[in-house]
């Protein structure tokens, strides 16, 4: 956060080292000190000592590092804004003067506002692909986890400074889709319900019914068996017609697909997600076939047709002795493509047509091998971007009642969960805050209800499964979204009562530990943005937001603001509250959670 100060200090250190012939590395690494009641930064001199050792001097590296640190500490003397310099075990620790630091942090936040924490442009393009459920199916709570994780990640990388493209890739073709088409065409044509969500959800019902009709049963009679086989033949015929581009089937497919997409768009709208590019699985089917030919021609894939499929022996091509990526099939012997084939075609489009440098896929962890294989084939194919492809996997979501099963129609629909969460918050507001006008209640309930769901998803490591507990998620004083939102609301209410915010303030009084801690956390926001983005881990930001809220709630309980002893304290604390509020809002925004003014 203090690049210019660090530069000045670094220049002094370099001058000292040049004079005394200490070989400093080209780039000195500065990091924030772990918080221990004081804020500061540190660097180390192990590299310099090791360099001397390499130059042939006989030295003990740790001991020499400490010597250098001590000599630097001495040479630095007193520094503006730094109230203590310390050399320990080869490290140089600089402790900020708490008052100067607080003022500096608060001024920076209030000056930069919504942009506080934004990283410098990085000249690299990231594509985040998420919110890509299969069509002809309902949007369930697992899809929601995917969408919120992807959106948070997209917001993080964008804010960190990457040129960011949001992409979706619905699976709009395959046997599941055809099954629904067949069912609709045969039994339900023209009977679709009204309403975007109802119609989307209804497709799942058709799927479940169709699966019942088409799955063999142990006790079936010969007539039933014959019937089932006839149905199955019809379904296969429908797939063949789709493949051949039959006008009737294609029109039916597009019409029903649109129902799913309308529901998806409505949900994304509700989540404030705006996808830039829509890819569809169906659109990369043909390009996939051409790619297979190219891979065969380049000797990457082996064509075993007509007796077998087209395969890539990935381990062998990479020269691996042990089985790791295995052998992947990229074209069936009948010439039809697979999921993998289409992903290869899609990746090529992303790289070549969209200039993507880093390609992120937010997809269920169960597809992990699939993506490892795809990325390795891209590497064998010669795409340098393959190295920067990343599969952000995520675990299963269930309710305490039990697991989902789409085949049996047991899915937890996102819309139902969201409606229920909002309903509960509305009841709570009615009870606790009856003076809030009805119109505002609805808006706030939506912000808080959805915020609770989002945080329940983002605050768990993406690889872990989630058993979603609505009561816990909605609690105001747990590790929850509402708890963080409530910190924002409290800050807002102090500021409203205070009236105008002082345009500047001096923190030159004995700061309480609560103030020091709050300032330290606020100051860490920019580096947390970078860390979460570089590691592709929204959880890092979710944890940060909770820590910041906790520090704020503590401050709120312990430190008088409106009733502060002196005018100086009152002004300083008001500005600190405003800075905390802004930082909470920025952090929540990166988690795709709204920051309400009241709740
Ligand atoms: N539609 C797929 C599914 O629901 C996810 C697509 C993942 N993206 C990809 N490029 N394969 O499982």
Does ligand 1 have an atom closer than 6 angstroms to the CB of 365?
A: no
Separation CA 88–CA 67 (nearest Å): 10
Q: What is the pLDDT of residue 295?
A: 98
Which of 219, 135, 214, 145 has the alpha carbon at shortest distance from 182? 214
Pocket test for ligand 1, best of 275, 363, 374, 394 (most atoms within 8 A of CB): 363
The CA 404 to ligand 1 mean position distance, Å, reads 18
Does ligand 1 have an atom closer than 6 angstroms to the CB of 361?
A: yes
Closest CA to ligand 1's atom 7: 363
Q: Supply 193's token pair.
A: 């319900």
Burial class (CB in 10 A: 0-12, 13-18, 19+), 235: buried
The CA 276 to ligand 1 mean position distance, Å, reads 17
pLDDT single digits (tens) 143-160? 999 999 999 999 999 999
Q: What is the pLDDT of residue 8?
A: 87
Beta strands 125-129 and 358-362 are parallel
Which of 575, 370, 422, 404 has the alpha carbon at shortest distance from 491? 575
Q: What is the pLDDT of residue 401?
A: 76
Closest CA to ligand 1's atom 1: 171
Q: Is a pLDDT exceeding 80 seen at residue 3?
A: no
Give the pLDDT mean for 190-214. Answer: 94
pLDDT single digits (tens) 324-378? 999 999 999 999 999 999 999 999 999 999 999 999 999 999 999 999 999 999 9
19's CB contacts (< 8 A; 6+ apart) are: none
Separation CA 525–CA 116 (nearest Å): 8
For ligand 1, what atom is nearest to the CA of residue 170?
A: 1
The CA 363 to ligand 1 mean position distance, Å, reads 6
The CA 120 to ligand 1 mean position distance, Å, reads 32
Separation CA 452–CA 475 (nearest Å): 8
Beta strands 466-467 and 125-129 are unpaired
Does ligand 1 have an atom closer than 6 angstroms to the CB of 171?
A: yes
307's CB contacts (< 8 A; 6+ apart) are: 333
User: How far separated are the first and last CA of the chain, in Å rounded?
Assistant: 33
Q: Are 371 and 139 in contact (CB under 8 A)?
A: no
pLDDT single digits (tens) 167-180? 999 999 999 999 99
Q: Are 260 and 152 in contact (CB under 8 A)?
A: no
Q: What is the pLDDT of residue 291?
A: 97
| Upper half-sphere CA count for residue 206 (Cβ side, 13 Å) | 29
314's CB contacts (< 8 A; 6+ apart) are: 324, 325, 326, 327, 328, 373, 376, 377, 380
The CA 335 to ligand 1 mean position distance, Å, reads 22
The CA 301 to ligand 1 mean position distance, Å, reads 23
Q: Are 338 and 365 in contact (CB under 8 A)?
A: no
For ligand 1, what atom is nearest to the CA of residue 339?
A: 11
Q: What is the pLDDT of residue 77?
A: 83
Which residues face 126 on adjacent strands?
Answer: 164, 358
For domain 414-590, which CATH number applies: 1.20.59.10, 3.30.2130.10, 1.10.730.10, 1.20.1250.20?
Answer: 1.10.730.10
DSSP E strands in 253-368: the ranges are 277-278, 302-303, 310-313, 327-331, 358-362
Q: What is the pLDDT of residue 404?
A: 59
The CA 150 to ligand 1 mean position distance, Å, reads 13
Does ligand 1 have an atom closer than 6 angstroms to the CB of 279?
A: no
Which of 1, 103, 114 has the alpha carbon at shortest distance from 530? 1
pLDDT single digits (tens) 382-417? 999 999 999 999 999 988 876 656 666 678 899 999
For ligand 1, what atom is nearest to the CA of residue 143?
A: 4
Q: What is the pLDDT of residue 471?
A: 92
Separation CA 39–CA 515 (nearest Å): 12
Q: What is the pLDDT of residue 57?
A: 78
The CA 132 to ligand 1 mean position distance, Å, reads 6
Q: Are 86 and 70 in contact (CB under 8 A)?
A: no
For ligand 1, what atom is nearest to the CA of residue 367?
A: 12
For ligand 1, what atom is nearest to the CA of residue 371?
A: 11
The CA 370 to ligand 1 mean position distance, Å, reads 10
Number of H helices, E strands in the chain: 21, 14
Q: Is a pLDDT exceeding 90 seen at residue 520?
A: yes
The CA 171 to ligand 1 mean position distance, Å, reads 6
Q: Are 389 and 347 in contact (CB under 8 A)?
A: yes
Q: What is the pLDDT of residue 146?
A: 98
Alpha carbon 84 to chain centroid, angstroms: 39
* Confidence class for position 1, pLDDT limits 50, 70, 90: low
Q: What is the pLDDT of residue 388?
A: 98
Closest CA to ligand 1's atom 10: 343
For ligand 1, what atom is nearest to the CA of residue 133?
A: 4
Q: What is the pLDDT of residue 6?
A: 85
Closest CA to ligand 1's atom 4: 133
Q: Is a pLDDT exceeding 60 seen at residue 599?
A: yes
Give the pLDDT mean for 513-538. Answer: 97
Does ligand 1 have an atom closer than 6 angstroms to the CB of 133?
A: yes
Its pTM surpasses 0.85: yes
CATH topology (fold) of 3-96? Gyrase A; domain 2 (3.30.1360)
Q: What is the pLDDT of residue 411?
A: 83
Sole residue written with tokens 């020269």 = 319
Pocket test for ligand 1, best of 137, 171, 173, 370 (most atoms within 8 A of CB): 171
Q: Where are the domains of the chain?
A: 3-96, 171-273, 414-590
Give the pLDDT mean for 63-72. Answer: 96
- Per the document, the length of the chain is 599
Q: Is a pLDDT exceeding 70 seen at residue 15?
A: yes
Give the pLDDT mean for 105-117. Answer: 97
Q: What is the pLDDT of residue 405?
A: 60
Q: What share of the chain is helix, strand, coil (3-state, %, to 5)?
A: 60, 10, 30
The CA 268 to ligand 1 mean position distance, Å, reads 17
Does ligand 1 have an atom closer than 6 angstroms to the CB of 132?
A: yes
Q: Supply 498's token pair.
A: 């205070």
% of the chain residues with pLDDT over 70: 98
DSSP one-letter code for 36:
S
Does ligand 1 have an atom closer than 6 angstroms to the CB of 363?
A: yes
């Amino acid at each position: 956060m203090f690049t210019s100060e660090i530069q000045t200090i670094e220049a002094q250190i370099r001058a000292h080292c040049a004079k005394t012939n200490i070989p400093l590395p080209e780039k000195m690494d500065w990091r924030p000190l772990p918080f221990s009641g004081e804020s500061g930064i540190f660097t180390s001199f192990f590299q310099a000592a090791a360099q001397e050792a390499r130059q042939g001097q006989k030295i003990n590296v740790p001991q020499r590092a400490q010597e250098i640190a001590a000599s630097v500490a001495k040479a630095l003397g007193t520094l503006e804004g730094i109230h203590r310099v310390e050399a320990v075990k080869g490290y140089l620790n600089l402790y900020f003067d708490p008052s100067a630091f607080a003022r500096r942090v608060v001024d920076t936040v209030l000056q930069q506002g919504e942009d506080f924490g934004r990283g410098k442009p990085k000249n690299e393009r990231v594509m985040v692909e998420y919110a890509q459920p299969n069509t002809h199916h309902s949007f369930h709570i697992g899809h929601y986890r995917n969408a919120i994780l992807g959106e948070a990640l997209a917001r993080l990388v964008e804010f960190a400074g990457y040129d960011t493209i949001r992409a979706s890739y619905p699976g709009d073709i395959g046997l599941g889709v055809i099954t629904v088409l067949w069912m609709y065409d045969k039994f339900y044509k023209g009977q679709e319900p009204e309403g975007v969500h109802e119609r989307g959800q209804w497709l799942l019902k058709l799927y479940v019914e169709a699966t019942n009709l088409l799955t063999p049963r142990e006790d079936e009679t010969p007539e039933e068996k014959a019937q089932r086989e006839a149905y199955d033949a019809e379904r296969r015929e429908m797939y063949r017609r789709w493949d051949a581009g039959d006008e009737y089937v294609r029109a039916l497919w597009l019409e029903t697909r649109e129902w799913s997409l309308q529901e998806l768009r409505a949900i994304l709208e509700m989540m404030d997600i705006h996808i830039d590019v829509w890819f569809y699985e169906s659109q990369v089917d043909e390009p996939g076939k051409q790619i297979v030919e190219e891979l065969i021609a380049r000797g990457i894939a082996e064509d075993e047709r007509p007796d077998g499929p087209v395969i890539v022996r990935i381990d062998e091509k990479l020269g691996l002795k042990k089985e790791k990526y295995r052998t992947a099939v990229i074209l069936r012997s009948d010439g039809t493509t697979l999921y993998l084939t289409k992903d290869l075609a899609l990746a090529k489009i992303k790289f070549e047509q969209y200039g993507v440098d880093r390609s992120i896929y937010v997809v269920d962890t169960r597809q992990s091998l699939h993506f490892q294989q795809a990325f390795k084939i891209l590497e064998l194919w010669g795409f340098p971007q393959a190295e920067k492809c990343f599969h952000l996997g995520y675990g299963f979501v269930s309710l305490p009642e039990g697991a989902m099963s789409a085949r049996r129609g047991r899915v937890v629909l996102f819309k139902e969960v969201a409606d229920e969460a909002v309903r509960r918050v509305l009841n709570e507001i009615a009870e606790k805050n009856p003076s809030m006008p009805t119109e505002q209640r609805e808006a706030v309930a939506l912000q808080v209800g959805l915020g609770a769901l989002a945080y329940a998803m983002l605050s768990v490591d993406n690889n872990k499964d989630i058993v979603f507990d609505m009561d816990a998620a909605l609690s105001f004083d747990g590790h929850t979204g509402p708890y963080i939102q409530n910190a924002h609301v409290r800050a807002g209410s102090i500021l409203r009562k205070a009236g105008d915010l002082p345009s500047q303030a001096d923190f030159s009084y004995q700061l309480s530990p609560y103030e020091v801690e709050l300032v330290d956390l606020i100051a860490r926001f920019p580096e947390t943005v970078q860390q979460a983005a570089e590691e592709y881990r929204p959880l890092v930001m979710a944890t940060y937001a909770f820590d910041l809220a906790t520090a704020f709630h503590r401050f709120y309980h312990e430190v008088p603001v409106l009733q502060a002893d002196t005018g100086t304290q009152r002004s300083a604390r008001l500005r600190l509250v405003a800075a905390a509020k802004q930082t909470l809002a920025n952090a929540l925004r990166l988690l795709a959670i709204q920051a309400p003014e009241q709740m």
